[in-house]
Amino acid sequence: MITAPALLLALMEGAVGAAVLALTALGLSLVFGVMRVINIAHGEFVMLGAIIAWWCSAELLGAHPVLGFLFALLVAPLLVGLVALAADWLVLRRINYDPERTILATMGLLYIIQQSVLLLYGPDARPVEPPFYFRVQLPWFGYSGYKLIVIALALALLGATWLVLSKSRIGLYMRATRLDAETAQAFGVPVRRIYAIVFALGAMLAAVSGVLIAPMRQAHYLMGTDPLLLSFIVVIVGGLGNLRGTLLAALLIGLGDGMISVLFSPTLAKMIATLLVALVLIVRPGGLTREGAS
Amino acid sequence: MKQLPLQSYALHLLIILALFLVQFLLPAYHYGNLTRIMVYAVLAIGYNVLYGYTGLMSLGHAMFFAAGAYGAGLSVHWLGFGPIAAFASGIGAAFLVSILTGIVVLRVSGVAFLIVTLMLAQAAFLATLYFNSITLGDQGIVITLRPIEIAGTSLQLSDPVVKYNTALVAFALALLFSLWLLRSPIGRILIAIRENEARTRLLGYNTFLYRFAALVISGTMSGLAGALYCLLFAYVGSSFASLQYSTLPLLYTLLGGTGVTLGPLAGTAIMYYLIDISSEFTSSYMIIVGAALLIITLWFPDGIAGRARRLIGRGTA
């Protein structure tokens, strides 16, 4: 029997999951939308973020955990962004962003990142200390204040990304490249540089969500697969490269995944989400996409 | 230049004969390795039917491999099937899974096809963990098999000689089948779909049905490899459904050369030994898979057999 407190708890967990998933999936969707690149290594960027969060909190042991958290929020996106820039420069650019070959290349990247972390960090899952311990009193129970801050931070970052995309010059370039890269180039948009920036931006969003989830779960070298699976589900449901669809789908899938995870089991939640997507594809061939199937 | 079919069959039969003969020369360690390589090559040959011939890149073949392995392993463990019945049930399971998967994934094409296959395979992997009362999840099941009784002699699948030759028979059949398929009218249409689907459809072919057939053949062959692997090495676990078993056949095929019938064998053998050697030095040996993927993508998009074929100037495809 599902009781009201359990339902409220599930709803809260679902909201946290949705917020973090929105960040991760937005990164994936942005990269696909602008560059037409499916980044199989996207989940590894989340994992790298979490590992860096662990490293920061271990480095700054003894200091206030908030310091380590803030440090991680700064360092993780920077480092992961650099990794992404290097990948773009060394690999993606050289194969001219050919869709099929980039998939193979990012898959190679997945294994290189994952196994390098295994080599340097080891196979253990390590806990990361949450920066805050205060609890917010809800009816029936007190809820982790940290998780509420995660929701707020994720929303702020989503807003910031939206502002960059819609108000800044670089955002204009991104949107132009997304619509038609060749025409954009003809109008003087530095398309190659935009590609590099977008790939780094997507990776940074993933890294931040990695930092945010690290204190709630643990940092482990195989933790990239769940965010990858969920982000893929989100971009398929929301429409490949469709940012608004991505956010809406992230809310739906994240909430559902979080709630079923609490009420039943996390594994079951992911299976149900996948089957749901399979059903959607059967009922609406081509998915819910507007510009999807290439 | 087009090769005579007879010449091509002769070349393939020669390779099968060579594989038969080397078993009398190989030391035990490599003997076991080659057994595994031949089983994995069946998986890669199955993969090649879909990717190499039809041009559909799947990231979900672990699902078919695992369907075959679980179909065989679970029926031995829970129902007490003998080896032959278990093998058949593994193939049947993979066949069913292929049909169900085809209904879903062929609704989409291009990159969406890739994402959906990966997604379904990850869900299948999670399912093997979720139903761990049946599958025993991560830990897996070690199966004990009855011997096969044929014409008064009893064959024990744990005997290395029986293992090697069973794998060889399966490999030979898969190889010859793939060669026949490639040269048959169906194979020609699959290649036409790879090159230009719209044009093939315009010629009046129902391309959906052909793609569906390619997926079911490919999935069933991969499942056959899974069933064989489970029966020969007496184990099935959820790692069989993990991303690794989707990546490896793709890599074997790419390394060997896509669309070349002998490519999967070459790719499997090389990659197997690369992984085997590097696993002696580090537990992060899968890094070699990542490196190989990057190197192939950057510098060898045609693979080894593809490059050799271009050098020799004649093709099997």
The residue type found at B14 is L
Centre a 10 Å sphere on the Cβ of residue A279 and count the other Cβ atoms it contains: 11
The residue type found at A162 is W
Distance CA B224, CA B166 (A): 12
Which chain B positions have a beta carbon within 8 Å of A108's beta carbon? 289-294, 297
> What is the phi/psi pair of residue B288, to 5°?
-65, -30
Are residues A104 and B127, on separate chains, in Cβ contact within 8 Å? no
Using the Cα atoms of residue A35, residue A39, residue A41 and residue A42 in order, give the sign of their dihedral.
Answer: positive
The residue type found at A173 is Y
In a domain, B254, yes or no: no
Mutate which: A103, A276, A279, A290, vs B, most B CBs within 10 A:
A103
Domain span at residue A61 reads: 22-222
In a domain, B25, yes or no: yes
- Among the partner-chain residues A91, A275, A287, the one whose CB lies closest to the CB of B108 is A287
The residue type found at B205 is Y
Lowest mean pLDDT among A141-155, A166-180, B141-155: B141-155
pLDDT digits (tens, 9 = 90+) for A107-139: 999 999 999 999 898 888 888 878 877 788 778
In a domain, B251, yes or no: no
In a domain, A2, yes or no: no
pLDDT at position B317 is 45
List, in order, residues 6 or more apart from A145 with CB less than 8 Å away. A132, A133, A134, A135, A136
Rounded to the nearest 10°, the torsion over CA B33, B38, B39, B42 is 150
List, in order, residues 6 or more apart from A180 with CB less than 8 Å away. none
In a domain, B268, yes or no: no
Q: What is the CA radius of gyration of chain A?
A: 19
Statement: residue A189 has pLDDT above 80: yes
DSSP string, B205-267: --HHHHHHHHHHHHHHHHHHHHHHHHHHHTEE-GGGGSTHHHHHHHHHHHHH-TT-TTHHHHH
pLDDT at position B169 is 92
When divided into structural domains, chain A yields a total of 1
Are residues B290 and A275, on separate chains, in Cβ contact within 8 Å? no
Confidence class for position A211, pLDDT limits 50, 70, 90: very high
Residue numbers of B between 189 and 228 with CB closer than 8 Å to A: none
pLDDT at position B170 is 92
Are residues A119 and B126, on separate chains, in Cβ contact within 8 Å? no
Chain B contact for A94, CB < 8 A? yes
317 residues of chain B, pLDDT tens digit each:
455 677 778 888 888 888 888 888 888 788 888 999 999 999 999 998 888 888 888 989 999 999 999 999 999 888 888 888 899 999 999 999 999 999 888 877 777 788 888 888 988 998 898 888 888 878 888 888 777 777 667 777 778 888 898 899 999 999 999 888 888 888 888 888 888 888 888 888 888 888 899 999 999 999 999 999 999 998 888 889 888 899 899 988 888 877 778 888 888 988 889 888 888 888 888 888 888 888 888 888 777 766 666 666 554 44
pLDDT at position A293 is 38
* Chain A CA closest to residue B113: A293
Chain B: closest CA distance from residue A195 (Å)? 19
Flag whether the ipTM exceeds 0.90.
no
Residue whose C-alpha is closest to residue A277's, from A231, A242, A243: A231
Place of tokens 């078919």: B64
In a domain, B229, yes or no: yes
Distance CA B292, CA B289 (A): 5
When divided into structural domains, chain B yields a total of 1
pLDDT at position A284 is 67
* Chain A CA closest to residue B110: A294
Q: How far is CA B231 from the centre of its chain?
A: 16
3-class secondary-structure state, position A61: strand
- CB-facing half-sphere around the CA of B4: CA atoms within 13 A: 3
Are residues A112 and B291, on separate chains, in Cβ contact within 8 Å? yes
Residue numbers of A between 13 and 42 with CB closer than 8 Å to B: 32, 38, 40
Chain A contact for B100, CB < 8 A? no
Mutate which: A31, A44, A112, vs B, most B CBs within 10 A:
A112
- Among the partner-chain residues B110, B130, B287, the one whose CB lies closest to the CB of A115 is B287
Chain A contact for B282, CB < 8 A? yes
Domain span at residue B162 reads: 5-240
- In this structure, what token pair is assigned to residue B228? 């064989």
In a domain, A28, yes or no: yes
Q: How far is CA A211 from the centre of its chain?
A: 11
Place of tokens 């399979």: A278
When the pLDDT of each residue in chain A is averaged and rounded to a whole number, the result is: 86
- In this structure, what token pair is assigned to residue A97? 């962003």
The β-bridge partners of B141 are B236
Helix axes B244-256, B263-278, angle to 10 degrees: 120
Which chain B positions have a beta carbon within 8 Å of A235's beta carbon? 115
Are residues B111 and A103, on separate chains, in Cβ contact within 8 Å? yes
In a domain, B176, yes or no: yes
Are residues A116 and B122, on separate chains, in Cβ contact within 8 Å? no
Place of tokens 């979900």: B60
Distance CA B67, CA B121 (A): 11
Residue whose C-alpha is closest to residue A267's, from A230, A214, A212: A230
The reported pTM is 0.86
In a domain, B234, yes or no: yes
Residue whose C-alpha is closest to residue A271's, from B87, B122, B308, B241: B122
3-class secondary-structure state, position A161: helix
pLDDT at position A76 is 92
Confidence class for position A1, pLDDT limits 50, 70, 90: low
Average of pLDDT values for A197-212? 94
- Among the partner-chain residues B112, B283, B286, the one whose CB lies closest to the CB of A292 is B112
Are residues B297 and A91, on separate chains, in Cβ contact within 8 Å? yes
Q: Checking phi first, is residue A62 left (phi over 0); if not, alpha (psi -120 to 50) or beta?
A: left
Residue whose C-alpha is closest to residue A115's, from A2, A221, A220, A39: A221
DSSP category for residue B49: I
